[in-house]
Amino acid sequence: MLKIIKNGEVYAPHYLGKKDVLLAFDKIVAIEDKIDSPQDFVEVEIIDATNKLIIPGLIDSHVHIAGGGGEGSFKTRTPEIQLTDITRGGVTTVVGCLGTDGTTRSMLNLLAKAKGLEEEGISTYIYTGSYQIPVKTATGNIEDDMIMVDKVIGVGEVALSDHRSSQPTVEEFKKLAAAARVGGMLSGKSGKVNIHLGDGERAIAYIEEIVSTTEIPITQFIPTHMNRNEDLFEKAIEHGLKGGIVDLTTSTTAKFLEEGEVKSSKALRKLLEHKVAIENITFSSDGQGSLPVFNDKGEYTGLKVGRVASLYEAVKDAILEEKVQIEKVLQVVTSNPATLLKLPRKGYIKENYDADLVLLNKDSLEIDTVIAMGKTMIEKGEVMIKGTFEA
């Protein structure tokens, strides 16, 4: 019931120094220089974090938890995610979404998977809709989903500037953004629109037009995959400088990088060099999504599956290879998504916040321990709690 994590260096994600952290059930209740165990009247688990960093559990804000894809026909529908695909990567909160396929993947299926993962011990939210506009929802429309379904925090992943997009008009997309905004206001949620951007030349033109012709603010949108090619990344810098949110995708393939994708860790460094506000930058993994490859003629030639583990790998790479300050890197996978997506009690090591923590070995930055809602999921790199159907 009680855990004291002793002698770790706490990044909350801002640096707090060497602290003891007391967890009670699923909450963080104290962060002090020294916390003694009240062992005489209650059982306390002591976790030694000497030579370890304590960081908030990672938030992965774009994961195809119920599977995705299928661009190479039925056999290429990517499988549902398993609990340890998430927890092994230091992730304790995921935002699930559908993707290209809004027919054989449904909102109710996505919601059920999110509930299942929550029963297994992590925290989950979902976006309503899929690539296509009009979006398919759980209740019949966006506002009702946002207001009446607790887990629905916004709309997405809607595809723009992509050959797989439903090619909506700006007007149709505008209406969708308006519904997300009002639904969010009425339910106390963020109401963000998560946008899959393809390689198309229109890039973020729809967002720019809506921002310049309506009252909807630029921060209503979370365009993702903004590092997918050099041209789009240039737009990402401009968008970030105007106060827009820039989401960088961490799952990649050697071929994508060869073809001009900007590695997420490098993209983070470049955004900061261009003075884009750190608060507007997030990483997400696109985990379990399909990473299809098309040739020059737009023909499908093969497919790989995105991994949630790529999120923390990108964090490590940004710290160790790109030399971005650790506190800034941690922000893009903890406090930034929590704040932008309005996730209550998430993203910080703070009193009364959820007991979602990751312990890292100080030298290697390898993940040692993962605690989600006060339960130890990973300990010394070993899985403590498996998913229901994991051997």
Going from the C-alpha of 116 to that of each of 219, 384, 387, the distances in angstroms are 31, 18, 10
168-197 positions binding Zn ion, by CB under 5 A: 196
What is the sign, positive or negative, of the torsion defined by CA atoms of 201, 62, 189, 27?
A: negative
Tokens of 317: 């790479």
Number of residues that bind Zn ion (CB under 5 A): 1
Contacts with Zn ion, 209-248, as mask; x by CB under 5 A: ----------------------------------------
Residues 6 or more apart whose CB falls under 8 angstroms from that of 39 comprise none
Q: What is the three-class DSSP state of 248?
A: strand
To Zn ion, the closest distance from the beta carbon of 195 in angstroms equals: 9
Q: What is the DSSP letter of 353?
A: S
195-214 positions binding Zn ion, by CB under 5 A: 196
To Zn ion, the closest distance from the beta carbon of 215 in angstroms equals: 28
Q: Which C-beta is closer to Zn ion: that of 196 or that of 263?
A: 196
Q: Which C-beta is closer to Zn ion: that of 196 or that of 239?
A: 196
To Zn ion, the closest distance from the beta carbon of 102 in angstroms equals: 13
**263 binds Zn ion, rule: CB under 5 A:** no
> What does the alpha-carbon distance between residue 55 and residue 12 come to, in Å, rounded to a whole number?
6
Q: Which C-beta is closer to Zn ion: that of 151 or that of 196?
A: 196
To Zn ion, the closest distance from the beta carbon of 99 in angstroms equals: 6
Could you give the angle at the alpha carbon of 274 between the alpha carbons of 271 and 278, nearest 5°?
50
Run of H or E including 299: none
Region of 253 please: left (phi>0), alpha (psi -120 to 50) or beta: beta
To Zn ion, the closest distance from the beta carbon of 55 in angstroms equals: 27
To Zn ion, the closest distance from the beta carbon of 164 in angstroms equals: 9
Residues 6 or more apart whose CB falls under 8 angstroms from that of 124 comprise 65, 93, 94, 95, 96, 114, 115, 117, 118, 151
Q: Which C-beta is closer to Zn ion: that of 105 or that of 196?
A: 196
Q: Which C-beta is closer to Zn ion: that of 192 or that of 196?
A: 196
Could you give the angle at the alpha carbon of 44 between the alpha carbons of 356 and 383, nearest 5°?
45
Of 20, 85, 286, 317, which residue is the catalytic one? 286
Contacts with Zn ion, 47-86, as mask; x by CB under 5 A: ----------------------------------------
Tokens of 152: 């629905």
Q: Which C-beta is closer to Zn ion: that of 5 or that of 193?
A: 193
User: Can 20 be counted among the known catalytic residues?
Assistant: no
Run of H or E including 208: helix 205-213
> What does the alpha-carbon distance between residue 300 and residue 319 come to, in Å, rounded to a whole number?
35
Residue nearest to Zn ion as judged by C-beta position: 196
Tokens of 310: 């790529």
Largest CA distance in the chain: 72
The catalytic residue positions are 286
Q: Interface residues with Zn ion (CB under 5 A)?
A: 196
